């Protein structure tokens, strides 16, 4: 039996994730996943590609408060707002995405940590950032501040297979999946079109081409050529070196660790 073995949401894009035992799946992804993002004062999105130190920021959500923490740095509590004055942002070709600025205290804290002037924004309530129509299932499929798709799925077996080919094994957090499953063959998820977990049906629509973010150690920030070097040898695709499947929820509902993953097609 194939089961759901781990759930992770990332409150702030490119910052640390938060593991949970259950989550509500919305059409735009797991609840609270990548609803916030660090941007330049002009609204251009920033990630670990440019600022690896984002990987050391741990955001924790409690009701409508986000607590930002980083090593040897005073933590900060930020009131979360998803409505208010529009602060348009740009992310991966999506321009003028509606967002809400979360204030000067958050901006100052993040700017001090990164050593560059930045702002923290929250995805605006009611706005829909549409998916690439070449891969979307429904016309209104949308996501938040994820790179391109609401959910990323990877199996434990796929990571084990990759690690068996490398000198030093890597943890799953290098790949930042939302849903981890177990009980299938390595990379079997590549062949699935539809799955169902509980009452939530999802479409696996596109292999995920991996970037340099995977080469950054999330604890030390050291970089090397892995896992891209190994992936390029046996996971090469017209999109790039692939690992994991981009996924679109087709309805909403609660899922939890241990649930069976039903392969529909």
CA angle 81, 200, 262 (to 5 degrees): 145
Contact (CB, 8 A) for 151 and 24 = no
Ramachandran bin of 86, using left for φ above 0, alpha for ψ from -120 to 50, beta for the remaining angles: beta
- Would you call 233 helix, strand, or coil by DSSP? helix
Split at pLDDT 50, 70, 90, the class of 196 is: very high
Can you tell me the mean pLDDT for 205-224?
97
**Which pLDDT tens digit goes with each residue over 91-115?**
999 999 999 999 999 999 999 999 9
As a whole number of angstroms, the distance between CA 52 and CA 43 comes to 19
* pLDDT at 231 (0 to 100): 97
Can you tell me the mean pLDDT for 216-225?
96
* pLDDT at 145 (0 to 100): 98
Split at pLDDT 50, 70, 90, the class of 46 is: very high
Superfamily of domain 3-263: PK beta-barrel domain-like (2.40.33.20)
* Domains in the chain: boundaries: 3-263
**Which pLDDT tens digit goes with each residue over 67-89?**
999 999 999 999 999 999 999 99
**Which pLDDT tens digit goes with each residue over 117-175?**
999 999 999 999 999 999 999 999 999 999 999 999 999 999 999 999 999 999 999 99
Nearby residues of 164 by Cβ (< 8 Å), 6 or more positions away: none
């Amino acid at each position: 039996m194939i089961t759901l073995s781990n759930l992770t949401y990332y409150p702030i894009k490119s910052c640390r994730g938060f593991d949970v035992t259950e989550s509500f799946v919305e059409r735009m992804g797991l609840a609270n996943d990548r609803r916030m993002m660090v941007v330049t004062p002009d609204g251009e999105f920033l990630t670990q590609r440019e600022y690896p130190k984002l990987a050391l920021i741990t955001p924790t959500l409690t009701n409508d408060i986000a607590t930002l923490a980083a090593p040897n740095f005073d933590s900060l509590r930020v009131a979360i707002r998803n409505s208010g004055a529009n602060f348009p942002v740009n992310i991966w070709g999506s321009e003028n995405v509606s967002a809400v600025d979360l204030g000067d205290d958050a901006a100052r804290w993040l700017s001090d940590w990164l050593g560059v002037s930045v702002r923290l924004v929250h995805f605006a309530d009611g706005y829909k950032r549409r998916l690439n129509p070449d891969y979307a299932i429904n016309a209104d499929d949308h996501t938040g501040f994820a790179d391109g798709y609401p959910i990323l799925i990877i199996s434990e077996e796929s990571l084990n297979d990759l690690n068996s080919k490398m000198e030093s094994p890597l943890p799953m957090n290098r790949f930042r999946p939302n849903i981890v499953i177990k009980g299938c063959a390595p990379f079997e998820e590549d062949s699935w079109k539809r799955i169902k977990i509980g009452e939530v049906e999802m479409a696996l629509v596109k292999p995920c081409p991996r970037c340099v973010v995977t080469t950054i150690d999330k604890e030390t920030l050291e970089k090397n050529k892995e896992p891209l070097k190994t992936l390029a040898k046996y996971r090469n695709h017209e999109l790039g070196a692939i690992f994991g499947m981009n996924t679109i929820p087709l309805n909403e509902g609660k899922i939890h660790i241990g649930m069976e993953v039903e392969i529909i097609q």
